[in-house]
Each structure stands twice: as structure tokens, then as C-alpha cells.
Structure 1
Amino acid sequence: MGYHILRAPVPVPQEYSSFAKYYAATDRWNDFAALERLVDSSMNRLQYCLASHLLRDSIIPRMVRPVSQSAPGFPLHHHDISLQNLFVDDDLNITDLVLDSSLITAFRSGFEAENKKIGRCIIDPGYWKVGQMVSRFMRLVNLDALQDYGHLEALYTLAREPVTSEDDGDITNSLPAILATRATSHDALALAGELAADDEPESEIRRREKEYFDAVGAKRFALARKVAFAARMNPRFVADGRLWRWLDAVVEYYEGAESDGLGIVS
């Protein structure tokens, strides 16, 4: 699985106010991932299985448009055209292109403005939505991103649109809640048992943990264990940027208190 943990997306620099805080977050993410060999654990693999079922049941159907609604293709000009920014199918048809999120609105408005000038039909907003979903879907299923959870959450949100104010405030419809509910189904519990059969022996997991934390220190081990405990206690737990920023603030507070001689004990 490499660095892919569905419920613990890898930190990225944009989420932090400084590179120092970003580096601290990556250290804490690595510490969390080192516990119980989380990346390759059956727990993590089960989460990806649940995500695939959610894609199959609730998201892919929203990405498919009836043949009667299909429209002729049109040429596109990309500001940074390269093989890394193009997706093609088995017949070498271009199916998607990657744009930086900050440029999407500008691209759409510019494209639609030029389209009107030459007298072409107005583009159905649904096509933009499907295009956005396909882009995130491809990044997710190809494991071609640092933050799989973010892509899954965006897909889930797009698939549910339009969302009423009542739905928006209902946490039982949130992605963590949906995944937690699916994890308790009979099929999911049976699958969890099958996946667990491929886990490494407990002795090997502990040996690797000890080797890692002997190198990084006892304080980081203690903090990682607290995060892991919170994850076990809360089936909706997601270790994303919000968690690492909060932990950074807590650590800074206690370190500041210790340096001031307040003697606060955690």
C-alpha cells in the first residue's frame, strides 16, 4: 500500500502555516503509521474495500450519463499540457485532464465565454460536475495521490448534491459515519476476518515498532499511542490535517509551559 492510509491522509505543505509545522506533521504521521504496521494492516485494507463498495453503490452511478444525453466532443487547450496531466482510455482517447484547483473556475469561465463567441451550445453544468468526479475518481482508484480520503470525501459530496440544509447538518450522513456503519455489516465483518489472516505475525509487528521508535524516541512513541487509542475508540476517526495542527498546538503549549517552569503534567 506504500504510504496510503485511507483514514490518515499524508500531510501536504498547503495545510500548514510553515514548513516547520509541516515537517512536524509528517513526523507524527509516520509515527502513527509505524504503530501496528498500519499501512499494510488488515484494518487499512478493509477501509479501502469499504471505500470501493461505496464507489460502486453510490458514486459511480452518478458519474454515468445516459447515451441520450451524450454530446459531441470539443478541443481543449491546457496551460501545462504533459503526459502527467492527461488520462487516456485503452483506445487512447483523452478522457480527463488535470488542472490545479485554483485554476478550475478561471478555466471554466474562459472556456464558456469563448464557446459563446463562436455560437456553440451552452455547456450543461452537469458535464463539469461529472468531469470533476472522474478526475478525483481516477486519482483515487489509481492510488495516484497523497490524500485518498480527500478525493473520496469530495466524490461523496458531489454524488449527494444538491444537499439540503437539513442534510448538511446531519452527521449520520457524513463520510466517516457512512464508512463506520458499513464496517459493522455482516459482510464487512466477514471480510475483516479474511483480511486479518494476511496480517504479519504479532511478534514481527512489535519488533518493527521497537526498531522504529528506538530510533525516534519515547516521546514520539507516547504521542503516537495516544493518537492510535483515539482512533480505536472512535470509528469515525480521521487523522487529517486538523488533527496534526491541533496536536502541534497542544505540544507547543506544553513545551512552553515546561520552559516557563509551570510543571504541567500531561
Structure 2
Amino acid sequence: MSNRRRDANVFSHAKFNIYALVHLAEQLRNKRCTCDLSQKPKSGSLNWAIILSFDDGVEWVFRSPRTYYGLDEETAGVLLASEAATLKYIRKYSSIPVPEVYSYSSTTLNEIGVPFILMSKARGSPLGTRTWHSLLHDIPNSSVIPRQCLTEKERKKVMRQLGAITSQLSCLRLDKIGSLFEEEGCYSVKTCLSPGLLLHGRHTLKDIPRGPFSQENEYFSSLISALLLHIQYLSLEHHAFFAPVPVPAEYNSYASYLSATDRWNDFITVGSKIDSSKNRLDYFIAGRLLEGMIPSLISESEAFASTFGDGFPICHPDLSTSNIFVDDDFNITCIIDWAFSSSVPNATLLMTPGLPHPRDETEASLTSSFRAGFTDRFNKEGSKMIHPAFWENTRKAWLFTRLVNFDALQDYRHFTELYALVYKQRITHIPALFGKQRMETAVSNMAKILVADDQTPSDIKRGEDAYFSNVGLQRHALSRKLTIAAALSRGFVADGKLWRWIENAVA
């Protein structure tokens, strides 16, 4: 291959044998195939992809992992093999629209030279090319080109279809909780590749039970184990338990939201709060309390087990607008990106999908549409009726999943709601609950372990000086006062109430 071809756009993520790829495609379809070397691969956080074109206009997708980002090569290969098996299984046993897999290899030991899935191209376009709902606030001086915004009727139509697809998934039941793999045309359940066990660096953690699991409590407990080890050894990223990240819905204007975000950043910078032993200990306590809620999740799930039958249903863990393809009339044409899929407890499958992102809250009317779509399909297939009480358990499962997976912005609020649902009581003073937990022997022992890894005062000061030299010393003064107040008050929570109060006070 000439140097010019070797440096073409198509190789921007990896060097591979393009001739072997085209030859494979031609053999599989018995049609002439070409690949535009000037195309720039489409890429996400974990994969990149290019398009192959046949003379009759048919296009296939060639996708390969970005193994230098996020996951190691071995883990990425296992995910790829399981995703390919899951896609083939779903196409064989349901009418859910998913890509057709023509060939795949989970290692570099192939003529093309990289791990890959070769599959059909999804019809339609990603739902994410439209705006799911209108913005809560006008963004001043925005240069973003407005996109088509779905009407409420269109959103309900999509949610109803997702409900029907979920109903089909509820019938694809495996004997254990884990991920699918294929060997010589036979499918088996092996290690569980759930996001909560792999993402955010958790694939590197040792001593996590990874399945397959025979019981729901084993699965939930493994997620707790992953969370507790994450707290000890990995970055907490943006998670500060008693200082949840501001979200636009809490504020009356976009300017107010930006001000709150600035003040939140200032506050968590002072004392390097996020990765401090205090914050890590807060999450350790939250993890212990979440572990105590597992029996509630299981008992209610078991009460409705006869509705679904034996086994555990397959679940897509990332039903975001980028993975849902639709036509011009908002009929769902394809669901892509089944990496991290596994079988799950029934309540986890029936969680209402949050759109545009799974962590997003869903309006009540859209939740009703999703459940109606599920129920209609479920009843047509001759299954038993879904008891209304079961849906409450899906809300618990959603909150639990967001918390243990570190897939939320408002951990404090989610924990408060989940605690109230599990124990049938509204607790208004979570800080006091955590204060009692700190007297437990296991918590005090963990505090000693965590404090050993705290930054030195000089390192913390260096970080503060670098940050506030850019944003202003006045902001440093306010955030230091708030930090002192937080230390003196047992009930201090830096949430939307605080940021709105400050905005009004300084106005």
C-alpha cells in the first residue's frame, strides 16, 4: 500500500488491511464492494466505524473498538463478542429491529488485523439528530443551528414503541443473569458485562463478583461491591454526594443555571472536595445503605415473578437518542449499540427509558406511553396482566441503578427518593442519617483507610490557586465561607436551594 493510501482518513483510528476487509465483504455478499478511503470514521467513546458500499447501493458498517481509550484490549474484545452474539440472538428470536451481523472477530488474529463487527447499516437516522424536547431556557447568543424538535405526540409515539420492544425483550429469557456469548452457533450465558461492573474504570477492579448470577440478590450485591471498591480506588469524577451537580430544571433562567454551575465548581474546588476522604466516606455510607435496600428490591420483584415466568430478560443498558434510529414518521427502524447488554431482573428491564440520555428523568405522560406500549404487546402475546404495584418497583430499580452505576448528576436527590420508597417514609434529614452511620465500626475503619490517601494541604492549595487565579479571588472568598459553613452545620447540603438563595442575596 502506498504511503498516501496508508495515511488516508479511513485509517485515522487504526491501521488495518483494507483489501482484506473489502474482499471479506465481497465474499459474504457475492457483490462488488468498495470503501472510500477519504471518509472520516465516525467515532464514539468506545468504538469507531466506517461504511462499505456495494454496487447495488447497499451499505454495511465496519466497526472496531477504540482500545486506547477507556477499556483495555481484552475487555473490549469480550464486549464485542457478546454484542455480536446478542444481536444474532435477538434477530433469531424476536422481531426487534437490530443490525444484522455478517462477520465478527473479537481479537486482532484475523486477516484484517483489528477486532471488528461487520454488520448491516441501520435504516433511518438517529433520533438524536432531532431535539427530543424544547429547551427549558433560551440560550443567549447561541450559534447552534436549531434542529427539529419533536412534538409531544411524536415523543409519545416513540415511547410507546420502546414499550413494545421492551415487551419483546421480556420474552427473551435466560437462565442466569449475565451476558450472551456464541460458540459454534450455540448461545450461553457467561460473565455479566453490565455498565456498573465495567465503566468508569471498574473493569480494572479485582475481587468483584462478575457472574453469571443465579439469583437477583447476587447481581445487586455485585453492583454494590463495584461501587464500594470504586469509592476506594477510582476517581469520583463529578460526584459530590452532598453537593449535587446543578441541572437546568432547578433554575428560572439559563443565566441562573450558569451562575449556579460556577458557584458549584468554586465550592467543590476548595478543599478538593470530590476526591477527599470525607466525600468518599459519604459514598461508602450511601453504598452500605443501598446494600440494605436490596431485600426490598428482591421481595417485590419475587411477588410478581409469576407474571413473567422463569429466568431473566435481556436488556439494552443505553437506550439513548443516539442509539435509536427512526424514519421520517418516527417509526423506530433500528436499535443499535448493544454493548454491555445482559440479562437483568424484571424491574430493571421495565425501567422507563430516560431520553435523550438514560439518566434523564421522564415526564409522567411519556412514562404512561411507555407502559401502555409494553402492556398492549404483553397482553397480545397471551401473558398475564402487569399488576400496577409492579411499576413502582421499576422506579426503585431506576434510582438504584443510577446510584450504583455512578450514572447521575443528582445523587443526593435520587438517594433521598429511593430511601423514602423503600422504607415507606419521607426522611427530611439525610445528613443526620449519615451522621449515625459514621459511628459504625465498619465506617470508622474505612475512614482511616481513606484519609491516608488525601492530598496534602500544599497540593490542595496549589490546585485552588491555579483555579481561582483564572476565575477571580472574590469567588474564592465566597466558596471558602461556604466551606466553613458546611463544616459547622451537620445538615449542610449544597444543592439548588443554596445556589438560588445566594443568587437572590447578591442580586
TM-score range, shorter chain: 0.7 to 0.9
Cα pair distance change 1:112/1:217, threshold 3 Å: same
Contact persistence 1:156–1:175 (CA under 8 A): no
Alpha-carbon shift at residue 48 of structure 1 (Å):
0.3
Structure 2 distance, partners of 1:22, 1:85, is 34
| Residue 431 of structure 2: aligned partner | 176
Query: Which one of the candidate residues 127, 137, 162 is aligned to 2:390?
Result: 127
Structure 2 distance, partners of 1:17, 1:105, is 27
Contact persistence 2:314–2:349 (CA under 8 A): no
Q: Specify every segment of 5 or more residues in structure 1 that has no aligned partner in the other structure, as ranges.
A: 253-266
Aligned partner of 1:14: which letter? A
| Residue 101 of structure 1: aligned partner | 362
Higher helix share: 1
Per the normalisation by structure 1, the TM-score is: 0.78
* Mapping of residues 55-204 of structure 1, within 5 Å: 55-57=290-292, 59-65=293-299, 67=302, 69-70=304-305, 71-72=307-308, 81=324, 88-89=341-342, 95-97=349-351, 98-99=353-354, 100-102=361-363, 103-108=366-371, 111-112=374-375, 121-161=384-424, 163=425, 168=426, 171=428, 174-204=429-459
Once the two structures are overlaid, the 10-residue window that deviates more, 102-111 or 66-75, is: 66-75
1:245 aligned to 2:481?
Answer: no
Alpha-carbon shift at residue 51 of structure 1 (Å):
0.2
Contact persistence 1:9–1:240 (CA under 8 A): yes
| Residue 51 of structure 2: aligned partner | none
Contact persistence 1:180–1:236 (CA under 8 A): no
Contact persistence 1:35–1:224 (CA under 8 A): yes
Contact persistence 2:304–2:390 (CA under 8 A): no
Contact persistence 2:267–2:480 (CA under 8 A): yes
Contact persistence 1:96–1:135 (CA under 8 A): no
Structure 1 distance, partners of 2:408, 2:398, is 11
Contact persistence 1:139–1:145 (CA under 8 A): yes
| Residue 39 of structure 1: aligned partner | 274
- For the residue of structure 2 that corresponds to 1:40, the secondary structure is coil
Contact persistence 1:42–1:195 (CA under 8 A): yes
Alpha-carbon shift at residue 207 of structure 1 (Å):
1.3
Cα pair distance change 1:197/1:90, threshold 3 Å: farther
Structure 2 distance, partners of 1:83, 1:232, is 47
Contact persistence 1:9–1:148 (CA under 8 A): yes
Contact persistence 1:36–1:205 (CA under 8 A): yes
| Residue 219 of structure 1: aligned partner | 474
| Residue 207 of structure 1: aligned partner | 462
Cα pair distance change 1:245/1:205, threshold 3 Å: same
Alpha-carbon shift at residue 181 of structure 1 (Å):
1.7
Alpha-carbon shift at residue 218 of structure 1 (Å):
1.9
Aligned partner of 2:503: which letter? D
| Residue 95 of structure 2: aligned partner | none
- For the residue of structure 2 that corresponds to 1:154, the secondary structure is helix
- For the residue of structure 1 that corresponds to 2:493, the secondary structure is coil
Structure 1 distance, partners of 2:280, 2:266, is 19
| Residue 253 of structure 2: aligned partner | 18
Contact persistence 1:183–1:189 (CA under 8 A): yes
1:236 aligned to 2:491?
Answer: yes
Contact persistence 1:133–1:155 (CA under 8 A): yes
Q: How many residues align?
A: 242
Per the normalisation by structure 2, the TM-score is: 0.43
- For the residue of structure 2 that corresponds to 1:39, the secondary structure is coil
Structure 1 distance, partners of 2:452, 2:279, is 14
Structure 1 distance, partners of 2:436, 2:337, is 37
Aligned partner of 2:349: which letter? T
Alpha-carbon shift at residue 107 of structure 1 (Å):
3.3
Structure with the larger RCO, 1 or 2 (CA within 8 Å, 6+ apart): 1
Aligned partner of 1:136: which letter? L
Structure 2 distance, partners of 1:115, 1:9, is 38
Query: Which one of the candidate residues 248, 257, 263 is aligned to 1:28?
Result: 263
Cα pair distance change 1:150/1:19, threshold 3 Å: same
Alpha-carbon shift at residue 177 of structure 1 (Å):
2.2
- For the residue of structure 1 that corresponds to 2:349, the secondary structure is strand
Contact persistence 1:89–1:95 (CA under 8 A): no
Identity %: 39
Cα pair distance change 1:242/1:68, threshold 3 Å: closer
| Residue 258 of structure 1: aligned partner | none
- For the residue of structure 2 that corresponds to 1:146, the secondary structure is coil
- For the residue of structure 2 that corresponds to 1:11, the secondary structure is coil
Structure 2 distance, partners of 1:56, 1:242, is 29
Alpha-carbon shift at residue 75 of structure 1 (Å):
11
